[in-house]
Amino acid sequence: MTSTTTSMMTIDQVKALPLPAVYEYALQHLVTVARRRQWNRAYCKTEKVKEQQRRYYYRKNNVYHPALNPDGLHEKRFKRVHA
């Protein structure tokens, strides 16, 4: 199977590259991964995503919640504080 993109390299082509070039590419890749992780953490903390995650939890486990899953069959138990 051949690829039509020029960015695909074979293992032999990579072995032929000078080591500093491989290190530079690896460093760029690691920086990109770190940047994506940081963005993802910030994105997952937004109110919209938190609500989507909560709605998914209630629907997936069929738990009743008046706003998120009114058709749920199971009522979630909450910790109760006794005076």
54 CB-near residues (< 8 Å, 6+ apart) = 68
Domain ranges of the chain: 17-75
Q: 3-state DSSP call for residue 74? A: strand
Distance between CA atoms of 40 and 35, rounded to whole angstroms?
9
List pLDDT tens digits, range 13-68. Answer: 989 999 999 999 999 999 999 999 999 999 999 999 999 999 999 999 998 888 88
DSSP secondary structure letters along 13-41: HHHHS-HHHHHHHHHHHHHHHHHHHHHHH
